Amino acid sequence: MNEPKLPPARGPLSAGVISTLTLGKPPPRVQEADPLGEDLQLALYLCYELHYRGFSGVGGALEWDPDLLRTRGELERMFLVALRDGVAGGDDVPGVLEELLVEPVDAKGISHHLRDDGQMWHLREYVAHRSIYHLKEADPHAWVIPRLQGRAKAALVAVEFDEFGGGRAERVHAQLFADLMDELGLDSAYGAYLRVAPAEMLAIVNMMSLFGLHRTLRGALVGHFAAAEITTAPSARRMAQALVRLGVDPLFYTEHIEADAVHEQVLRRDVIGDLLQREPGLAADVVFGVQATDWLEGRFGELVLDRWRSGITSLLTPMSERR
């Protein structure tokens, strides 16, 4: 397996985690830090990545190092408090899902911008951002499978089967995204753009790992997954139009238009419906997962569009080539 390289540190927390991974030093003490800032989000991402593919030159045993896990737990607690503080909360699952189904008439997000006005360098930057997740698409959601039962488990596995290409390696969504990166002249190696992805992007992926790795947050993971699938189909349609306008194969996004419209129904009816029938006390967690997803995606979209409107890169450093 090709393991990614460790990125540069962004502060004392991420520097301390990197020293633990490379030099065997004790993990850093977690003190005051911005829970949504560059340093903490990178430190948390580095800890989580040990459960995925790890890093080049980092021993596999560190995945379960008790001191590093203790540090990760402290980072998680700060992040989770920030997430809960950032959303309204509640337990009206149908209500929050219905809100996602109705897109404001004046909506103007990243996919709208790329469809209508985006330039090639905008598209390449956006794809670089999203590679942090899409090169491991659906992997974080697999953590919840053993925490479900009955119809909810069967239905979620059916959705995951589609995400992983229906048994065909060339149709795995992560592979389709890598193919898109190759066409755009980007580095499709796993983790290649971690060094330039801002905290707003890392937080989205860290949220998935946080929800997936904790059994007590299984409801939040299901809520997140449903929110992602509900909002993907219309966004993917606009992205496909953007790629066609720019002369790029839209396969990755056209694959999501129909599939995610079906997945949304399955997740709402079969996964969430069955889960809450069995465990009605998880309704507030499902709502939390939906709202946290919407909140973090909104923060990311605002960052990117604000930078693009100013004519500057939305990455931490500019890409070497703009086409």
Tens digit of each residue's pLDDT, the chain (323 residues) = 689 999 999 999 999 999 999 999 999 999 889 999 999 999 999 999 999 999 999 999 999 999 999 999 999 999 999 999 999 999 999 999 999 888 776 788 999 999 999 999 999 999 999 999 999 999 999 999 999 999 999 999 999 999 999 999 999 999 999 999 999 999 999 999 999 999 999 999 999 999 999 999 999 999 999 999 888 889 999 999 999 999 999 999 999 887 767 888 899 999 999 999 999 999 999 999 999 999 999 999 999 999 999 999 999 999 875 43
Torsion angles phi and psi, residue 318, rounded to 5: -65, 150
Q: Please indicate, yes or no, whether residues 49 and 105 belong to a single structural domain of this protein.
A: no
Provide the pLDDT for residue 322. Answer: 40
Contact (Cβ atoms closer than 8 angstroms) between residue 41 and residue 206: yes
Q: Please indicate, yes or no, whether residues 174 and 305 belong to a single structural domain of this protein.
A: yes
Q: Please indicate, yes or no, whether residues 49 and 181 belong to a single structural domain of this protein.
A: no
Please report, for the domain that includes residue 207, its CATH number.
Answer: 1.20.910.10
222 within some domain = yes
Q: Please indicate, yes or no, whether residues 103 and 61 belong to a single structural domain of this protein.
A: no
Provide the pLDDT for residue 271. Answer: 96
Residue 170 CA: distances (Å) to CA of 234, 238, 254, 276, 315: 24, 24, 15, 35, 29
Number of structural domains in the chain:
2
Contact (Cβ atoms closer than 8 angstroms) between residue 185 and residue 252: no
Taking each helix axis from N to C end, the angle separating 12-23 and 66-86, rounded to the nearest 10 degrees, works out to 150
Cα dihedral 1, 173, 128, 201 sign: negative
Torsion angles phi and psi, residue 211, rounded to 5: -65, -40
Q: Please indicate, yes or no, whether residues 153 and 18 belong to a single structural domain of this protein.
A: no
Provide the pLDDT for residue 104. Answer: 75
Estimate to the nearest angstrom the gap between the alpha carbon of 21 and the chain centroid. 23
Which residue, chain included where needed, has tokens 């499709």?
A: 188
CA atoms of 162 and 21, how far apart (whole Å): 35
4 within some domain = no
The pTM score is 0.96
Provide the pLDDT for residue 103. Answer: 78
Residue 134: how many CB atoms within 10 A of its CB? Answer: 19
Lookup: tokens for 79: 């992040």
Q: Please indicate, yes or no, whether residues 244 and 305 belong to a single structural domain of this protein.
A: yes
Q: Please indicate, yes or no, whether residues 173 and 130 belong to a single structural domain of this protein.
A: yes
Q: Please indicate, yes or no, whether residues 131 and 146 belong to a single structural domain of this protein.
A: yes
Domain that holds residue 53: 12-85
Q: Please indicate, yes or no, whether residues 225 and 76 belong to a single structural domain of this protein.
A: no
66, 85, 104 - which closes a domain: 85
CA atoms of 166 and 119, how far apart (whole Å): 33
